[in-house]
Amino acid sequence: MKTYDWIVVGGGITGAALAYELVKAGLDVLLLEQQETPQNATRYSYGGLAYWSGTTPITRQLCQEAIARYNILSQELDADIQFRELDLLLTISANSDLEATAASYAHVAIPPHLLNIQEACELEPLLNREAIAGALTVKHGHIHPEKTVQGYIQAFLRAGGEMEIAQILELQTSPTEKRTEEEVKFAGVKTTIGSFHSNDIVICAGGLSRQLLKSAGIPIKLYFTHAEIVQTPPVDLRLQTLVMPANLQRFQLEAKSTQVDELWNEPGNQPAAPILDAGAVQFVDGSMVLGQISRTLTDTDAKVNSQESEKWLRQSVGEVLPPLGNLPGTWHHCLVAFSGDRLPLIGAIPGFAGVHVFSGFSNPLVIIPPLAKRFANFVTGQEDEIIIQMSPTR
């Protein structure tokens, strides 16, 4: 049986980008994805690239690298990822303090600038002027997330990578390599279509990463929200901007729900009440994603009442963007991974040899390409201070 250098678990944007960069770095890589057409976070994402949003020297540097990377990515992957620039419109609700909201963005690399109601409605004519006190705006990058994943995967396969549609049931320990009491060596995976062996495994399983690692006895501070959206078919209506609330509740939800890690070890908990951040984006083909509800239900299979959710979602989006509330569309659900401090967890997991993680990105699309490249170079011997600082041991 063949032994790969690396097995990458998960074919969302993190797994696809990392598999491509690993194979480009000269490694023999197997990418495993459980679904033929994944219903994952990448598929239902808005596709926004917040390259303006770096707040620390590291995140600012990664955002700079990201712009350079995205500028050449379509060409490098030989795939149209629909990379473009959009106006981001961060709505400030009628009862919020304009100046305080603007000040909360003052520390980012390119602070969005404040618009009054009139200016906001000129930029986005579909806005309800009664619902806002004003808005913030900044240039935002945009991609088609699924096309980007497909571009990465096709380029990965052309470069000699292998891919199977299979669910990983179990991470397998090495029967031959000597183990100490302190360290367990993992050397492969058991899947729905058989076992595969590798020197290293990297978990890019998004919202299912924690559960998969836990089933192998590996504790990790990774969490997930249940996200809900409505996806429309291509529509004639034209949204000029990517709309999101300036005061995103999702980040507060993430902070609040991770205060007691143990709550995430049992199904049936909900560490924080659900939130809705009303927003919308239109893709190049005219389809839209209206979002988004986030719930911290600790059971990955938890069921929600889709009819009630859809009603709540349509009502809230309709308050900000009235013509969008009743568009034809379908409700969807997915899991979105996040970490306790809004930075991803990247690297080896102490005490467990041969297993790594590359997940938990909060606003990930912008920094995944540069971090995937850095990680691949790091594991093939290049020093990298940024990768070290993203370690799960931090």
Interface contacts to ligand FAD, rule CB under 6 A: 9-15, 32-35, 38, 40-42, 44-48, 167-168, 204-208, 212, 227, 229, 291-292, 334, 336-337, 359, 361, 363-366
Shortest Cβ distance from residue 294 to ligand FAD (Å)? 8
**How far is 134 from 357, CA to CA, in rounded Å?**
41
Tokens of 284: 């190049």
Residue with smaller CB distance to ligand FAD, 88 or 115: 88
If you write DSSP's letter for every residue of 61-127 in order, what string do you get?
A: HHHHHHHHHHHHHHHHHTS----EEEEEEEEEETTS-HHHHHHTTTTSSS--EEE-HHHHHHH-TTS
**How far is 356 from 371, CA to CA, in rounded Å?**
14
Tokens of 311: 């009603």
Shortest Cβ distance from residue 297 to ligand FAD (Å)? 15
Shortest Cβ distance from residue 267 to ligand FAD (Å)? 16
Conformation bin of residue 371: beta by default, left when phi > 0, alpha when psi is -120 to 50: alpha
Shortest Cβ distance from residue 115 to ligand FAD (Å)? 20
Residue with smaller CB distance to ligand FAD, 38 or 347: 38
Q: What stretch of H or E contains 226?
A: strand 222-231
Residue with smaller CB distance to ligand FAD, 119 or 312: 312
Shortest Cβ distance from residue 118 to ligand FAD (Å)? 27
**How far is 155 from 143, CA to CA, in rounded Å?**
17
Residue with smaller CB distance to ligand FAD, 41 or 117: 41
Tell me the CA distances in angstroms from 127 to 89, 97, 222, 279, one per residue in order.
10, 19, 36, 11
Shortest Cβ distance from residue 250 to ligand FAD (Å)? 9
3-state secondary structure of 240: coil
Helices then strands (H, E): number in the chain? 11, 17
Residue with smaller CB distance to ligand FAD, 15 or 161: 15
Amino acid at 323: P
Shortest Cβ distance from residue 99 to ligand FAD (Å)? 26
Shortest Cβ distance from residue 278 to ligand FAD (Å)? 11
3-state secondary structure of 224: strand
Shortest Cβ distance from residue 92 to ligand FAD (Å)? 19
Residue with smaller CB distance to ligand FAD, 9 or 132: 9
- How far, in whole angstroms, is CA 349 from its chain's centroid? 21
Q: Residues 6 or more apart from 370 whose CB is under 8 A from it? A: 62, 65, 66, 69
Shortest Cβ distance from residue 381 to ligand FAD (Å)? 25
- The closest residue (CB) to ligand FAD is 12
Residue with smaller CB distance to ligand FAD, 207 or 329: 207
Residue with smaller CB distance to ligand FAD, 24 or 144: 144
What are the backbone angles phi and psi of residue 143, rounded to the nearest 5°?
-135, 165
Residue with smaller CB distance to ligand FAD, 229 or 379: 229
Among all chains, which residue has been given the structure tokens 């250098």?
A: 5
Residue with smaller CB distance to ligand FAD, 101 or 292: 292
Within 13 Å, how many C-alpha atoms sit on residue 167's CB side?
7
Angle at the Cα of 233 from the Cα atoms of 231 and 238, rounded to 5 degrees: 95
Strand partners, 291: 279
